[in-house]
Amino acid sequence: MFLPFPYHFRGPKGLSKEEYGEQLVREFARLFETEYYGVWDPKAGECEYAALYVEPLQGTGGYVLPPRNYFAGIKKVLEQHGMLMVVDEIQMGFYRTGKLWGIEHFGVKPDVIVFGKALTNGLNPLSGLWAREELINPKQFPPGSTHSTFNANPLGTAVGLETMRMLAETDYEAMVSASGAHFLAGLRDLQQRHPEIGDVDGLGLALRAEICEADGFTPSKKLVDRMVDIGLAGDLDHNGKKIGLVLDIGGYYKNVITFAPSLHISSEEIDLAMSLLDQLLTRAKRSL
């Protein structure tokens, strides 16, 4: 079963972001009112599901940022019915959003966290999970409870430990928050000059720009595709040199540019990105 994510930009009109989050929490709670939804068995007093898996921000869904009150409401319903909250931090973990875990922004303590990717920065595949002690202590989860052919790779483990050491030595929370604010301000400035950018949002260095028609709302995959083609052609101008731009596209309509730059990106590099995006969008609009 899948639940709707609070996508306020394309949600019901007339509701604030927080009101929309509250509405979706109420709809989630309603699933437990009767057995006909196949979620709750009132006779046995048991839930048909063990856990709800969530992303703090949607990844492939277009880096959608939920209301700050959403996960707290969802967690309350889960606790009332004995379900666990499992948070997928594979994209948003390790300070991508300005916190070690993205879910920290929402004042919720999950039951389980799964993580990977940034733990070794792609040098060696490694993933892992964290859980509350009562779920994963040696009595409940003894050695041999899981098995994997590629489990505990020595190189991956060494790289992961080095990553954790580096994270402890640098104030990534302050650094990413400052860089993210600068990046988001640049995107909002572009939005003022290009009505085709219907929505921009971000948390730390996980940001989005939704490309639309001139009305600023109707999704425009055609314009995004043209931007991708022009960027890959490598014909943008920068200090008398030709340069290209690779875009990552996501979202339900495949019209959202998602940004996840290096946590060490400089202000100058962010400004360059804004300049190239401005050129790219201008050329793409003229070519259609």
Quote the CA–CA distance of 106 and 236 in Å, as a whole number: 39
Domain identity same for 55 and 133: yes
pLDDT tens digits along 129-160 = 999 999 999 998 888 888 777 777 888 899 99
Q: What confidence score (pLDDT) does residue 75 get?
A: 98
CA dihedral sign, ordered 156, 159, 165, 170? negative
Contact yes or no for 118/96 (Cβ under 8 A): yes
Q: Is residue 2 part of a domain?
A: no
Last residue within a domain, chosen from 169, 202, 233: 169
Q: What confidence score (pLDDT) does residue 201 get?
A: 98
Domain identity same for 188 and 46: no
- The token duo for 213 is 């028609």
Q: Is residue 3 part of a domain?
A: no
Domain identity same for 179 and 49: no
Q: What confidence score (pLDDT) does residue 145 get?
A: 82
Domain identity same for 259 and 159: no
Contact yes or no for 52/82 (Cβ under 8 A): no
Q: Using 70 as the pLDDT threshold, list the residues of the chain that sit under it.
A: none
Amino acid at 227: M
CATH, residue 127? 3.40.640.10
The total number of structural domains in the chain stands at 2
Domain identity same for 216 and 113: no
Distance (Å) of CA 223 to CA 22, 91, 256, 258, 282: 34, 26, 11, 15, 11
Burial of 120 (0-12, 13-18, 19+ CB in 10 A): buried
Last residue within a domain, chosen from 121, 145, 169: 169
Last residue within a domain, chosen from 118, 150, 169: 169
In the chain, pLDDT over 90 holds for what percent of residues? 86
Q: To which residue do tokens 């290096």 refer?
A: 262
DSSP assignment string, 10-67: GS-TT--HHHHHHHHHHHHHHTTS-GGGSSEETTTTEES-SEEEE-SS-TTTT-PPPP
Q: Which pTM does this prediction carry?
A: 0.94
Domain identity same for 232 and 126: no
Q: Is residue 242 part of a domain?
A: yes
Q: Is residue 232 part of a domain?
A: yes
Q: Is residue 240 part of a domain?
A: yes
Q: Is residue 268 part of a domain?
A: yes
Q: What confidence score (pLDDT) does residue 80 get?
A: 95
pLDDT tens digits along 238-260 = 999 999 999 999 999 999 999 99
Q: Is residue 1 part of a domain?
A: no
Domain identity same for 207 and 264: yes
Q: What confidence score (pLDDT) does residue 153 get?
A: 83
By residue range, what is the domain housing residue 29? 8-169
Distance (Å) of CA 211 to CA 88, 198, 199: 26, 6, 8
Q: What confidence score (pLDDT) does residue 125 get?
A: 82
Identify which of 95, 244, 254 has the alpha carbon closest to the alpha carbon of residue 180: 95
Pairing of β 46-47 and β 40-41: antiparallel
Domain identity same for 33 and 123: yes
Identify which of 23, 17, 115, 109 has the alpha carbon closest to the alpha carbon of residue 65: 17
